[in-house]
Structure 1
Amino acid sequence: MLASKLLLSALGATAVVAAPVFPDLNMAAALPGSIDTMSEYFNMLAQKVQESKSMAAAPVCDVSKAVLPQSTPPLPPPAAGLILKHVAIGRGTQNYTCANETAAPVANGAVATLFNATCIASTYPELAKLLVKVALQFNLTQSEASRRLAPSNLAISGKHFFTPSLTPFFNLDVSDTMKLGEVPCAKNASSPAPPNAPVGQQGEAAVPWLKLTAKPGATGDLQEVYRVETAGGSAPATCKGMPADFEVQYAAQYWFYEKSQ
């Protein structure tokens, strides 16, 4: 019973009909398979709840048991002496610019809200992976009152954006309950998303998986960041029919590593 209550509390099985503070389901732009995706999520959630009822004790949120998802070819592993600090699901947009219709879109940063998925990633990795796909079925509201990621109960743990110099930046100090640090980053390595990675709301391919390393100015002992389990976010091959500036919605997992104490 304790295990099932813990799982339901973390994932919010009753949050499909969301309260106003939750992101709204974007029915106009829902993917053709959105109903199947939601069914897959709740079927897996029900399965995990059923399994948890037979556990002698509730599962413990042991971050050391979390396993970083692997790409093909694999990204370089975390550097020696680093340990996992935080896992978040990012939901936002990849941003692009177009010079003319015959040019290829140029990446112009990204903006995303980060939701705390640390315990889910370490205890129920299959659900954490599926939540990225599910997150694309929902559009985030613009209100700061939106403190959860529907249909789960994951709370905001940070913000991701690019500085004016196009440096990827993560702020994990926005939560009232946890202050994990800030980290400007530089790309260290990239690997294509798997062929079966979830596509975006308009069928866009998933953006690559990345390893990022901290630049000067990082706090909270944050050293490395991985973007994995991506969904959507890629630009079209050319700018034909596109505005000068446009966004492509995406979701991903972000894994943050710090120095071992």
Structure 2
Amino acid sequence: MLRLSAILTLSLYALLASALDSTTLGVGYQNYTCSSTTLTYSSIGALASLFDLSCMASKPEFADVQSKAYDIWIAPGDVKASANSIGAKVDAPTLLGYHYFINSPTSPGTGALSPEWDFTLRSHDPALFVVGAKVGDLPAPPPSDPGPKLDVDWLMLDGVPGYDGLNLLAGEIFRVETVGGQPPSSCKAGSEPIQVKYTAKYFLY
């Protein structure tokens, strides 16, 4: 927690610039299931398309590209739009890969899930993936107007040794500048799992 807080408060971009491997925009869903005991939603992973932001990083539009992408992603007229189509609409057309969750390789048989960033399909390189383990998180900055918490937390994750594609893609991952993704505050017993749209920047290095 302290490690993440220090990095985020000491200018994330400047600190990571020298070692940054990939700057990406994630567009997709946070997935939740309803707990019959607490009647609240709990996370069951996420699914997102990852777009290359490296060419945009020095441009003014980089600052709020995740917000623009989110507005397009949730627009009523785009209910059938695929996450894969959003990058081109915010001048980030290159799809690098996908972010999703797998059965935890370090806790097999427990039902635990682990996040993976997978660039293998688009790159045709079987080593370009990394499975992460969370080492810290911070609540997303609150909105300027009072209201419910809408944005998922900012995260720091380390690559899991042996499940990081020889460390060719990344050894550490940050999820920051999140928009959306939070579930409703309560649910009814027996409710179906839900997907909540979100966007975020992912820094891999």
TM-score range, shorter chain: 0.7 to 0.9
Structure 1 match to 2:151 = 206
Identity among equivalent pairs (%): 29
Structure 2 match to 1:88 = 24
Q: 1:38-97: per-residue Cα shift (whole Å, max 9, x none)?
A: xxxxxxxxxxxxxxxxxxxxxxxxxxxxxxxx646999x989xx8110100000000000
Counterpart residue identity of residue 150, structure 1:
K
Residue 181 of structure 1, CA deviation: 1.3
Instruction: Establish whether residue 172 from structure 1 lines up as the match of residue 105 from structure 2.
Output: no
Q: Contact 1:84 / 1:256 at 8 angstroms: preserved in 2?
A: yes
Q: Secondary structure at the match of 1:120?
A: coil
Q: Which runs of 5+ in 2 are unaligned?
A: 1-6, 74-79, 105-112
CA distance in 2, matches of 1:147, 1:180: 26
Q: Secondary structure at the match of 2:61?
A: helix
Q: 1:5-56: per-residue Cα shift (whole Å, max 9, x none)?
A: xxxxxxxxxxxxxxxxxxxxxxxxxxxxxxxxxxxxxxxxxxxxxxxxxxxx
Counterparts of 1:100-179 in structure 2, within 5 Å, are 100=36, 102-121=38-57, 123-124=58-59, 126-139=60-73, 141-142=81-82, 146=85, 148-165=87-104, 166-176=113-123
Count of paired positions: 179
RMSD between aligned residues: 3.4
Report the TM-score, using the length of structure 1 for normalisation: 0.59
- 1:183 is aligned, of 112, 115, 130, to 130
Assess, with a 3 A threshold, how the Cα gap between structure 1 residues 105 and 151 changes in structure 2: closer, same or farther: same
Is the radius of gyration larger for structure 1 or structure 2? 1
Report the TM-score, using the length of structure 2 for normalisation: 0.73
Q: Contact 1:183 / 1:217 at 8 angstroms: preserved in 2?
A: yes
Residue 221 of structure 1, CA deviation: 5.1
CA distance in 1, matches of 2:126, 2:201: 19
Residue 232 of structure 1, CA deviation: 0.4
